[in-house]
Chain A
Amino acid sequence: MALINPKKKEVQVKIVYYGPGRGGKTTNLEYINKKFKSRIKSEMVTVKTYNDRTLFFDFLPFDIGVIKGHTIKVQFYTVPGQVKYNATRKLVLRGVDGIVFVADSMELRREMNIRSLQNLEENLGSMNKNLNKIPLVLQYNKRDLAKEGIPLLSIETMEEDLNKTLNAPSFPASAVVGDNVAETMKKIISLTVSSLKKKLDVGEEK
């Protein structure tokens, strides 16, 4: 539900980072916020609990520039991973325009990734939305752990588990190091804004 304001010539898009708890969603946004600090004029807001796990969500809004005469404002959200916070996840998903699914590459997180993706599909379903029809990018995070000798899922396995039917663009990444973090974000913005093209054109005629 992108908000398009033809008068102010603004387009606002909402992108949600989804995925299992501890997968690295917050770290993705933190990395971007730090690296491009001077270009991001707003603050990142994190609503969290005492033990530093995302209880509710993170929120990072910024403008990426002017396209076809419209200022493009993007808002990034993350969701809490813990099973019990599904109500929060649903709330954050409201009006979503694009999704990044951050999967954890650690072997022992295989089931959690699959369950979290299912949960995403269910939650979207309850809003009459279909994951196949929403701009989506998959990120296979924590690839850096291979160096530490921690067993990781192979990219092929992750593609097979998560992306077989979706066929979405995917990136191996490391949110702590910053590998492919900006690339992931660029891709989702690009897909999401392109998918809004029709609406942009309507806006322009006014």
Chain B
Amino acid sequence: MAKNDEFSLTQELDEALEDFFSEEDSKAMLDKKTASAKTSTKKNKTVAKADDEESVLSLDQSSQLDVSGANLEKIKAIVLQLEWEITDETMESFIAEVEALTQIYKGDDHALPLLKVLDTLSRYVNKNKVKSHPEAIKCLRSVFDALEKIFTTKGMADKQRKSIVDTELERYNSLKNQLTEKAPKATSNIERIAKVSGTVSAKELKQFLVDEIRKAIQEEFQKIRKELSNH
């Protein structure tokens, strides 16, 4: 059994390393993902359009899903992309897609609060980019997953929907508290290193560097003095 464990660890490790250091540029991978999302989006759009023409007035559940399906897929592609990079472009299209969905689900008590959270979170991430609180991205993904579940699970009981929505809202609120309570102070590089490394305290590191710099400057001055007195 220990053997097995070892085997699977090595295998998992190898796979993770292969993935990370693979030659294929991750950007290219993403472009592919987005491209496939785009093609399916197109298909969905045509379906939705046909529906629109047939019954403009009665936007029934299924055609609503066709339209939102396209938006959902686009958002999904972007959510995946956020794992790699956060750009103005991705975030702006994210916000636009959420807005489109909000229009469609204006009257939906369950979807609307989640969409609102998505909107707020995406604006926050857009503003802060990679400096966003890591929980914000996680929360965004989680809310999106919940939304997708609500939209795509057929015949979900109202009670279940409500419980899903409540869980997400709770999560969002606790994130909000975290963000407002201790707005991350502007930390210096040194503090960041110390914080991430955990092996040296920030104070220790700072003091050490100050001492080293002082020493270096003193030595340099001594050399200069010597140089000057030689002339």
Partner-B contacts on A (CB < 8 A) = 1, 3, 12, 14, 36, 38-39, 41, 45, 47, 49, 55-56, 59, 61, 64-68, 72, 75, 85, 87-88, 91, 94-95, 182, 185-186, 189-190, 193-194, 197, 200-201
Contacts and interface: CB of A to CB of B under 8 A. Distances in A.
B27 A38 contact: yes
18 contacts: A1-B199, A38-B25, A38-B27, A55-B212, A55-B216, A61-B196, A64-B16, A65-B19, A67-B12, A68-B8, A72-B16, A85-B212, A87-B208, A88-B208, A91-B200, A186-B17, A194-B9, A197-B5
Contact of A38 (B84, B189, B190, B192): B84
Given A38-B27, A65-B16, A45 B193 contact: yes
Contacts, number: 79
B6 interface: yes
Contacts of A49: 216
B13 interface: yes
Given A14-B199, A94-B199, A36 B20 contact: yes
Interface residues of B, number: 33
B100 interface: no
Contacts of B198: 3, 12, 95
Tell me if B's interface is mostly helix, strand, loop or mixed. Answer: helix
Interface in B64-103: 84-85
Nearest to A87: B212
A94 B16 CA distance: 27
Contacts of B20: 36, 39, 64-65
Contact of A190 (B14, B197, B208): B14
A37 to B, nearest CB: 9
A61 to B, nearest CB: 5
Nearest to A46: B189
Contacts of B197: 14, 59, 75, 95
B26 interface: yes
B5 A201 contact: yes
Nearest to A95: B199
Nearest to B6: A197
A45 B212 CA distance: 18
Nearest to A62: B20
A194 B212 CA distance: 36
A45 B192 contact: yes
B9 A67 contact: yes
A14 B198 CA distance: 10
Interface string B1-45: 000011011101110110111000111000000000000000000
Contacts of B190: 47
A32 B81 CA distance: 21
Nearest to A12: B198
B224 interface: no
B130 interface: yes
Contacts of B17: 64, 186, 189-190
